[in-house]
Amino acid sequence: MSSKKAIVIGAGVGGIATAIRLQLQGFNVQVFEKNDYPGGKLTHFEIDGFKFDAGPSLFTSPRLIEELFALAKEPIAPYFSYEKLEVACTYFYEDGVRIKAFTDSEAFAKELLEKTDEPSENISRYLHRASLAYRNIANIFLSYSLHTVQTLTKAPIFKAISNFKWAYLFKSLNDYNQSSFKSPKLVQLFNRFATYNGSNPYQAPAMLSLIAHLEHNEGAHYPKGGMISITNALYRLALKTGVEFSLGQSVKQIVVENDRVKGVLVNEVFHQAHVVVSNMDVYFTYKQLLNNNIKAAQVKKQERSSSALIFYWGMNKSFPALGLHNIFFSKDYRAEFEAIFHTGLPYADPTVYVNITDKMEPGAHAPLGKENWFVMINVPANTGQDWAALEQFYRQAIIQKLNRVLGDQVESYITVSEVLSPVTIESKTASYMGSLYGTSSNSRMSAFMRHPNYSKAIDGLYFVGGSVHPGGGIPLCLSGAAIVSDLVQNKYKTHISPNNSVHEKN
């Protein structure tokens, strides 16, 4: 057995995926997780027969999960299965228009022509550009560290440059969408993709238009059993490969000597390691585990991404008009983002997202004839607001909006209710200020300003997860795990000397 030791701090999706990859590289990997369950934000709970995925609810890029099983030479079928959705999302507007975002491009174009008079060639052109940008530009961002010289020599830089458009940096996503579509409804629909990394479409660069590629070109999917099945599959695969998990054990310190990581301290016990990977928010990693207030302050200066306020409602009724993913748009999208990122004031007409997994597996996630509603709005990160008061304010705003659009009395059907606020997001997942994606992408160079996946000052220390490159969300965290494992593999040889020190490549 190899005597190389790697420790991963945090069993979020990025942490588990990194652990699997390092274990397959020959490290003995131990994961320390402060909660008594794996998954980080990607977890679930059950109340009175209603089952809820607690965190991420959209599943794209299944190939990233399949890649881990292929690396481990383990068949995926006994662990995980999924299906492609016919409709990625149903969009509801206050004027009564409802748009089904079909994953078949021709069906989607026909729907948009019928509902908004948008010429089919506009949507085809937009998605084609998104595909080119994703394949030729985003590939560098998602597959390589942006902070190493090797990226310049290994990444297909010239191909990216040939497909690059200055509009991607110098136009906001909203401006780009306005120049691409006639219909304001369609502009709002594609502006929404800025929220996928907690950003403001009126500030974030048009480069974010490539996010639409994942949902509309590659397609949205549903994992059987709900999103928690992703955590369960990765956790089981990690165990199968030999990763050791220490759940309910919180790392108190990353031990460093002579600018080199030596291990971690857990319950006053030292655990030696050649490599330490923090899946914890990078701010808290510096502040709490490294006691480095200067670096923590540098991270703190960057604008936080948005957070979320989530209501989990057990509904004593079935709603045929709703699908798995549903969006109820605000009337004034610009004003909503102004409130989230600038004024911080409560906004009375938030855009509401409703996810209902029972639509895909009737009776499996809620009692028959009932539904499990995951109801989310975007809100500012926590800066000390009165979240108890805001919960009540937004609960009523959400209910009033749903009543208007659905023509029903939603509140009368709520039999189970739980809530997750930015405060509880921070306490449960160690996400600084409860921001879901670390820093926002509200500037042209924000992608390059994200913290790298390694420490430039401490040898052997690496970072993965939503607060560092390439960003938050399941696909980006899984991509980050691949970047970290490549960095480690490039740095360390497999040969171990008699004193158990890892030889570095010269």
- Region 168-172: mean pLDDT is 78
Q: C-alpha angle 266/267/272, rounded to 5°?
A: 35
* CA separation for the pair 173, 404 (Å, rounded): 29
**Band of the pLDDT at 471, cuts 50, 70, 90?**
confident
Report whether 491 contacts 504 (CB < 8 A): yes
pLDDT of residue 494: 44
Peptide bond into 475 cis (omega under 30): no
pLDDT tens digits, residue range 70-102?
Answer: 999 999 999 999 999 999 999 999 999 999 999
Q: Is the pLDDT of residue 499 over 70?
A: no
Q: Model-level pTM greater than 0.85?
A: yes
Task: Provide the CB-side half-sphere exposure for 396 (13 A, CA).
Answer: 8
pLDDT of residue 302: 86
Q: Is the pLDDT of residue 2 over 70?
A: no
Transcribe 384-442 into DSSP letters.
Answer: S--HHHHHHHHHHHHHHHHHHHHTS-GGGGEEEEEEE-HHHHHHHH--GGG-TTSB---
pLDDT of residue 440: 82
Tell the burial category of 172 from Cβ atoms under 10 Å away from its Cβ (0-12, 13-18, 19+).
buried
Edge-first strand listing for the sheet containing 371-379: 98-102, 87-92, 325-328, 352-355, 371-379, 307-315, 414-420
- Could you tell me which residues are beta bridge partners of residue 419? 311
pLDDT of residue 154: 57
Structure tokens at 282: 């990078």
- Region 107-120: mean pLDDT is 97
CATH fold of 1-49+225-302+440-506 reads FAD/NAD(P)-binding domain (3.50.50)
Mean pLDDT of the chain: 91
Q: Is the pLDDT of residue 146 over 70?
A: no
Give the position of tokens 């409130």.
Answer: 339
pLDDT of residue 495: 37
The b/e string for 52-72 (b: 16+ C-beta within 10 A; e otherwise) is bbbbbbbbbbbebbeebbebb
